Amino acid sequence: MPPPPPDTGPAPDSALPPEAERILSISGDVYFRGLPDGILTDVSASVLGVVGYPREALIGQPIAALYVNPDLRGAFLDTLRRNNGVIRDHPIQIRHANGRTIWISTSCHLLYDADGTETGIEGVVREITTRRETELQTRRQANLISALLDASRDAIMLIDRTGLLLAANRIFAARFGSTPEAIRGRNLFSMFPADVAAQRRQVVDQVIRSGQALHTRDIRPPLVLDNNIYPVSGPDGTVEMVAVFSSDVTEQVRAEDQNQSYIKEIERSNDDLAQFAYVASHDLREPLRTLISYSTLLEQRHAAALDEEGQEFLGYIRTAARRMNALIEDLLAFSRAGQDDCPDQPLDTGTLVQAVIDDLALLTAETGGRIHLETPLPGIMAAPAPIERLFLNLFSNALKYHRPGSAPDVRAGFSPETGHFYVRDDGIGIAPEHHARIFQLFQRLENADGSTGTGIGLAVCKKIVERLHGTLQVISTPGQGATFLFTLPLAPSPSAAPSPPDTSPPW
């Protein structure tokens, strides 16, 4: 509170007539007059209702004593003089008699004598605390909205029905080499060439008329922009504004185009591979068949003419020819793995696997082993031929790589708990350091009789499973057999009830 005035008797009467005092008390305004040094010489009685002090306590006191920050008094006078001695609706923060901070607004002017010398100040003030707090709250909300808009990677703008820009973020403004503050208040359509502006206006008009959001793809080389345009309705449901969210998807589109180029290149490579498979199955096998045929005729017709060493050499020829034929067959299977012309379809996996087991009856009898299913197998979605090849290769390996002197025992099934199919044997097992290598091309392990396979069978299995977006792995310890675990896409159950709709909030 200002110090009390010196004891010089009662304060002088107000220079205002009683009628003016009554008007001021009704309006809540306060009249004041002061000297150049800031001492109050007169103030209306209505000041009590604004600052809580009677006029007698204020007359003769420096005006700056009411300021929350008295140093701002000098800045206020500088502003007043720069404005030719007149200022309107200038906000000032002062201290009320009860200690709380309030805001007042002053409109005043400087007083001069006949020589132009500054003799004082005169004006009116009114309390604007509520208005000021509302303005500050509005400003804080505007700053928050601006910060949220600028945090987005999209260009965002808000326009009215005529195209007047009401708000925009920095990314949108940067497209025009400007700032949000500089473009706010401009007409959006005036910022484009006439033909482009007409297209934009047509889209905006469509959103306003329909009240429905619209999505557009805007190609402006070198940019590609993905735009989502939303209507913003007023209290009566009429579309008053339009919000636009524009994403720069140039790099995404470029990446998609590049991916398409890669896909086409892979397709061309696959065509070349298919052509190679055709050559391998026909041109390469033709001389091989000739070699096998004539070596067989040589044995049948001229075996007596060959000594023991000649018979041995002839056996090498037949063995190498058959091995070469198996290698070509496996290479052909690898090149075609997962590329079956037959589309994916629901398969009765149990029936299909049993047919594979039946086809291996001769090899099973030769090894003295057996293959049986431990569990029912669920249906899957796949083409039949690759799945037949998958189980054929796994069963064949299990039968071939058995422990010497022991008949192989091969088991297959499905684990609902893990979602894995499995093929398990009690054979020679695989050392851990070979677990990854066996799925690579031409990686061979010896079987019970010392012979090796082509090194392609498990690579084919892995390729088939991965083409179906599954996984294939082995769990094995030398001398304790091996278990191959793999996943395949399960067919939907025909009896499965549809899931109830999700009614939970999206956030």
**Is 369 within a domain?**
yes
What is the C-alpha to C-alpha distance for residues 158 and 165, in angstroms, rounded to an integer?
6
Whether residue 479 sits in one domain with residue 365: yes
Query: Would the pLDDT of 118 be above 90?
Result: yes
What is the C-alpha to C-alpha distance for residues 423 and 436, in angstroms, rounded to an integer?
17
Q: Looking at 48-52, 178-182, 242-246, 427-431, which range is the least confident one?
A: 427-431
Q: Give 229's strand partners.
A: 214, 244
CA nearest to 407, candidates 372, 378, 365? 365
Residue ending a domain, among 336, 369, 388, is 336
Whether residue 376 sits in one domain with residue 311: no
Whether residue 168 sits in one domain with residue 26: no
Question: What residue type is assigned to position 389 of the chain?
Answer: R
Query: Would the pLDDT of 438 be above 90?
Result: no
15: which 2 tokens? 């220079």
What does 364-378 look like in DSSP terms, one character per residue? HHHHT-EEEESS---
* pLDDT attached to residue 4: 47
Q: Looking at 100-109, 235-244, 252-261, 439-448, which range is the least confident one?
A: 439-448
Query: Would the pLDDT of 298 be above 50?
Result: yes
Q: What is the 3-state secondary structure (H, E, C) of 119-141?
A: EEEEEEEEECHHHHHHHHHHHHH
* pLDDT attached to residue 10: 53
Angle between helices 384-400 and 457-467 (to 10 degrees): 150
What's the whole-model pTM score?
0.46
HSE of 119, CA atoms in CB hemisphere, 13 A? 7
Whether residue 354 sits in one domain with residue 323: no
What is the C-alpha to C-alpha distance for residues 325 and 296, in angstroms, rounded to an integer?
15
Higher-confidence residue of 450 and 163: namely 163
Whether residue 471 sits in one domain with residue 352: yes
Residue ending a domain, among 301, 319, 336, is 336
CB 357 within 8 A of CB 395: yes
Residue ending a domain, among 97, 127, 157, is 127
Sign, Cα dihedral of 6, 7, 10, 13 = negative
5: left (phi over 0), alpha (psi -120 to 50) or beta: beta
**Is 295 within a domain?**
yes
Whether residue 316 sits in one domain with residue 349: no
Kindly state the DSSP code that residue 274 receives in the 8-state scheme.
Answer: H
Whether residue 487 sits in one domain with residue 346: yes
What is the C-alpha to C-alpha distance for residues 501 and 315, in angstroms, rounded to an integer?
70
473: which 2 tokens? 């792995």
| Mean pLDDT, rounded, for 55-70 | 93
Q: Looking at 8-17, 215-224, 274-283, 320-329, which range is the least confident one?
A: 8-17
Higher-confidence residue of 388 and 343: namely 388
Using pLDDT thresholds of 50, 70 and 90, give the confidence band for residue 439: confident
Q: What is the pLDDT of residues 141-197, one digit of tens each?
A: 878 878 888 888 899 999 999 999 999 999 999 988 999 999 999 999 999 899 889
CA dihedral 4, 7, 8, 11 (to 10 degrees): 40
Whether residue 165 sits in one domain with residue 120: no
**Is 139 within a domain?**
no
Q: What is the pLDDT of residues 403-425, one digit of tens each?
A: 888 889 999 999 999 999 999 99
**Is 78 within a domain?**
yes
Whether residue 52 sits in one domain with residue 85: yes
Query: Would the pLDDT of 459 be above 90?
Result: no
Q: What is the pLDDT of residues 308-336, one digit of tens each?
A: 888 888 888 877 777 777 777 766 766 66
Number of domains in the chain: 4
What is the C-alpha to C-alpha distance for residues 489 and 473, in angstroms, rounded to an integer?
16
Whether residue 358 sits in one domain with residue 313: no
Q: What is the pLDDT of residues 339-386, one digit of tens each?
A: 555 678 899 999 999 999 999 999 999 899 999 999 999 999 998 988
Residue range(s) defining the domain that contains residue 369: 342-492
Q: Helix, strand, or coil here: 215?
A: strand
CB count within 10 Å of CB 369 equals 22
CA nearest to 340, candidates 464, 440, 461? 464
CB 242 within 8 A of CB 229: yes
Whether residue 444 sits in one domain with residue 420: yes
CB 393 within 8 A of CB 365: no
Average pLDDT value for the chain: 85
| Mean pLDDT, rounded, for 191-208 | 91
Q: Which residue has the tokens 């009116």?
A: 124
Query: Would the pLDDT of 23 be above 90?
Result: no
Query: Would the pLDDT of 230 be above 50?
Result: yes
* pLDDT attached to residue 146: 80
* pLDDT attached to residue 215: 92
Rounded to whole angstroms, the maximal C-alpha distance in the chain is 155
Rounded to the nearest 5°, which phi and psi values hold at 45? -65, -20
Q: Looking at 13-27, 93-107, 130-144, 184-198, which range is the least confident one?
A: 13-27
HSE of 128, CA atoms in CB hemisphere, 13 A? 17
CB 347 within 8 A of CB 491: yes
Q: Helix, strand, or coil here: 113?
A: coil
Whether residue 203 sits in one domain with residue 152: yes
What is the C-alpha to C-alpha distance for residues 317 and 325, in angstroms, rounded to an integer?
12
